[in-house]
A = this chain, B = another copy of it.
Amino acid sequence: MSTPRIEPRTLKGFRDYLPPLMIPREHLLEKVRHVYRSYGYAPIDTPALEYTEILLGKGGEESDKLIYRFQDHGGRDVALRFDLTVPFARFAAQYINELGTPFKRYHMGPVWRGENTAHGRFREFWQCDFDTIGTTANAADIETALVIHDLMQALGFERFQVRVNNRLVLNGLLEELGLAQHAVALLRALDKLGKIGRDKVIAEMCERTAIGEEQAARVLTLATMEGSNEEILHRLEQEFGGNAKAAEGIRRLRQLVEVARATGISEERIHLDLSIARGLDYYTGTIYETFLGDMPDIGSVCSGGRYDNLAGLYTKQLLPGVGASLGLDRLLAAMEELHLLPKAATPAPVLVVQFSADRLADYQNMARRLRQAGIGVEVYPEAKKVGQQFQYAERRGHRLALIAGPDEFAQGVWKVKDLAQRAETTVEESAVLSAVRTALAGG
């Protein structure tokens, strides 16, 4: 009597990570972690499950459809986190006295959203957030731009642009145009520029507010002004420097541009862009979006901004801050689609062939010596035909094979085979490590 089999499958919108995708994912996560740590951001983690009330607030039915929500065994109304910002707000409210301010943290982990799975969107994906809270200092805003820059560089992108703006500039500019009361609707429309284009943004601006097409076009022309960072700052100072809000925003952007320049970052990589608006009302100061020259269609891969108060839902303590979020899995999926990922299915570059079953101790001993020198080494588990073991090595993406049978053991030598170049050399046992190092360095 055998139980009928269950079809092995994942839920719609969820995916498995096989080694050729998981190896680069781990690599990217490691790079991101390294950049955050290098700036002194400290890691935290929070539970995947929280009280629904914590995640949605007491009203919040709007996001309700998007979240995985249920009753646990104790009858509690719980849900899976849908981002890392809300748990961080709860976390900050709970521990800020213990943590002290300023507090810099990063948080990398999965989030879940029951959203539409069109356009390659997944229902489980990793985010990598970093924030500095408890300070309004522009130094933190500037550092945020530097961190995003370093992230993109560490992830191996040559062509990218961190676009920076400031809500105070946008709001001051709208004030000067007499449009302050329409700010929310106008900025929401502006935020769609990259997706829907100029004409539709103007149409939406007119539709959502009482302003005419000419005024809408004027807003859009200002927001899309081009030029060097200095040219944009100069024009803003000339035209809007008299507005108090705009002046403060311009001052902060100028300092950011100056520090970026002083640390040797090119204009191309950190650039002012007044059309960056960010949809959320939450942001109140500097805002950031990041675009990749080779993947413009995936939109911003790292976005964020300054906010006045992180955790007002949970504490009366005012927690201003600034930060950004890297959409790691979205980036990875795009790299996969564009065939930008290496093909290896193993993290170990070397395979020790099992030629003689009774020599396992020698094989593991050699592997151990190389591992201690920091080189990943797999020992094939069975004494199959050498040809089959080579096929395995090629399929997996091992770069070198080490072979020793009775003849080699009698002579105290090993064969080192370069699998890509199909070249084989024979070296003394004591010289294997340096031969492997040389071969791997040359590849």
Residues in chain A within 8 A of chain B (CB atoms)? 3-12, 14-19, 22-23, 25-26, 33, 36-51, 53-54, 57-59, 65, 68, 70-74, 76, 78, 80, 90-91, 93-95, 98-100, 102, 104-105, 110, 112, 114, 124, 132, 135, 137, 139-140, 142-143, 146, 150, 255, 258-259, 262-264, 311, 313-316, 345-348, 351, 354, 360-362, 364-365, 367-368, 371, 375-382, 392, 395, 398
Contact = CB atoms under 8 A, between A and B. Distances in A.
Given A19-B42, A70-B70, A102-B382, A6 B314 contact: yes
Given A58-B3, A112-B48, A124-B47, A381 B33 contact: no
B259 A364 contact: yes
A18 B98 CA distance: 10
Contacts of A37: 347-348, 376
A427 B36 CA distance: 28
A171 to B, nearest CB: 23
A15 B45 CA distance: 9
Nearest to A45: B17
A392 B5 CA distance: 60
Given A139-B382, A347-B42, A382-B139, A47 B364 contact: no
Given A143-B379, A348-B39, A382-B139, A316 B102 contact: no
Contact of A381 (B140, B146, B351): B140
A360 B259 contact: yes
A81 to B, nearest CB: 11
Contacts of A58: 3-4, 6
A345 B68 CA distance: 33
Given A54-B6, A94-B8, A382-B102, A44 B19 contact: yes
User: Which of A4, A6, A71 has most chain B Cβ within 10 Å?
Assistant: A6
A361 B46 contact: no
Contact of A395 (B39, B100, B360): B100
Contacts of A11: 47, 49-51, 72, 76, 78
A105 B347 CA distance: 10
Contact of A104 (B43, B72, B80, B378): B378
A16 B94 contact: yes
Contacts of A348: 37-40
Given A8-B315, A347-B43, A377-B38, A365 B263 contact: yes
A375 B91 CA distance: 28
Contacts of A375: 38
B48 A376 contact: no
Given A9-B51, A365-B263, A313 B3 contact: yes
A46 B380 CA distance: 26
29 contacts: A3-B58, A4-B58, A5-B313, A5-B314, A6-B57, A6-B313, A8-B311, A8-B315, A11-B50, A11-B72, A16-B46, A16-B47, A17-B46, A38-B375, A39-B348, A40-B351, A40-B376, A40-B377, A42-B345, A48-B124, A72-B114, A102-B381, A132-B381, A137-B382, A139-B354, A140-B381, A259-B360, A259-B361, A262-B365
Contact of A347 (B40, B100, B143, B347): B40
